[in-house]
Amino acid sequence: MTGRMLVAILVPVLLAVETMAWLADRWFADGSYFGHGPFVPITAAAWAAWIVWRERHLGGGSALLAIPVAAAAAIMLYVLHGRGVGFVGAVGWWLGTIALLLGALGWRGTRALVGPVGLLLFMLPWPLKLIEDLSLPLKTWSMEVGLLGAPSTVVREGARLLIPDGGVLVVGDVCSGLRSLVAMLAFGYVVAAMTRTTHLRRVAVFLLAAPVAVLINALRIHVLVRVAVGAGAEVAGPGTLVHDGSGIAAFVCGLFLLWGLARVLRRDVASPRPLVGSPPGVAWVLAALAVMALGPALAFVEADLPVVVAERDLLQAIPTQLRPPSSQEGPVIPGRDIPLAAGAARLLRPDGFLSRLYGERGTYHLCIVYGRSRRTRLHAPESCYRGNGWEVEAASSVRCPASFTGAPGYVREIQLVRGEERRLTWYWYRSGGVSTSAYGAFTWRALIDPGEPQILVWLSIPFDAQGISRARERLRWFTKTLSFSLGRVLEGL
């Protein structure tokens, strides 16, 4: 039985090597919200070993479910290897583990391991877009709650808190509470599973992990504000003992609070009967393994298919210089190109790329990334900005200011801040002949019809805090000036 369990755990790893690389990259990236990830499989393995030692003869029940679960895992592993969607592939790895456990132990044996198997889900980093969508509202809410009862002399300006002595306390994305929330949910799952009570109360314990994490983070922001007012912003800033120490202390307090709530909700119930019996035959494991392998195999076959490459570079339609607005006099605005970094090239795998700065100081920025093959992997610009130290201060959708071939109805607007710098950015995607500012709709089209070209267009300019209206006017002019050229590029795809 031990050998079968090892096969059930290790084989999905071999079938999803790309998933393991994706997990490692997300776990150990700077500013990662999933630094706890490597500890999850270790904890799950120890938990499963304890269950096996306690039950002694674990197994029994039909293994028929292993085949449909393996088929679902094969589809997701195909999406991973053929489309490059890491999160989907990670879920496929998890389903593959379940499929092989069903084949090795039957449904009864797998049911006995539902706790550690479920815990493995918390090692999977969430999609970057979901993190982007959650980080800003969580940060905003934490700041609003954290400022309750704080000195009225503290002024909030976006993600910055202006202290009376002239100091500034910046509430970064890592201070949004999302990192604590993710780790607290994993801890809440373990606590709920270990609490001897009814299923409904276990669900309540798990769900309480979310408000506990968010409230503790808001309390931490309140403490940092009071320290900044009393001793100066530099004392409470990032890298200081107060800032970093308060983060650790807040999380530990949250753990104890959640443990205490679980003790309150505890209720003695009868212990479940051991799920024992004869394990199914090895043939079920081999059958599930064969079904799972179909996904990566099909992706590798498709990877060898010829890729249609453009005979000409469509990005040549983009002008190398701009004429100033008619209301202003002056020379033409020259442009200069920024090459794609090697790391970004490996991630995006584009067939075409253009990053052009117009103006001596790069006042206007245009970036276009496109691909005609399955290998191209586009993502939201927020991810690129965050990698360069920018943080999203506000996000919304606005009407596209120009009409041209391939123009979307709306563009995505994000306001970014990095220290004293600010930028205003508009962007949209196009795939399958449809332009949209919604990442979810774009990703879905790219998945169901990967043969269609896909493109990301974004335009950006710097601005100051008081000039958002003026910045929108300039960005509107920039978009209209390039509208004819952008239309030629989008039509050429």
Largest CA distance in the chain: 86
Nearest Cα to 65, choosing from 115, 117, 103, 104?
103
Mean pLDDT over the full length of the chain: 79
What confidence tier does 3 reach under pLDDT thresholds 50, 70, 90? low
At 11-23, the pLDDT tens digits run: 555 555 667 777 8
**pLDDT: is 39 or 465 the higher one?**
39
pLDDT above 70 (res 58): no
Chain-centroid distance, C-alpha 55:
38
> Which pLDDT belongs to residue 374?
59
Return the DSSP state at 466: T
Least confident of 78-87, 130-139, 161-170, 426-435: 78-87
Chain-centroid distance, C-alpha 145:
25
Average pLDDT on 191-218 reads 87
> Which pLDDT belongs to residue 309?
43
At 360-401, the pLDDT tens digits run: 776 899 999 887 665 677 778 887 787 677 888 888 899 998
Looking at the whole model, is its pTM more than 0.75? no
Beta bridge partners of 436: 429
User: SS3 sequence, 76-99?
Assistant: HHHHHHHHCCHHHHHHHHHHHHHH
What is the distance between the alpha carbons of residues 488 and 370, in angstroms, rounded to a whole number? 14
> Which pLDDT belongs to residue 8?
54
Instruction: Evaluate whether 458 touches 426 at the Cβ level (below 8 Å).
Output: yes
Domains in the chain, please, with CATH? 2-295 (no CATH), 308-492 (3.40.1000)
Helices (H), 319-449: 342-348, 381-387, 439-448
Least confident of 64-68, 149-153, 271-275: 271-275
What is the distance between the alpha carbons of residues 193 and 197, in angstroms, rounded to a whole number? 9
Amino acid 302 reads E
What confidence tier does 433 reach under pLDDT thresholds 50, 70, 90? confident
What is the distance between the alpha carbons of residues 253 and 30, in angstroms, rounded to a whole number? 25
Amino acid 50 reads W
pLDDT above 90 (res 426): yes
**How far is the CA of 465 from the CAs of 25, 420, 442, in angstroms?**
35, 9, 32
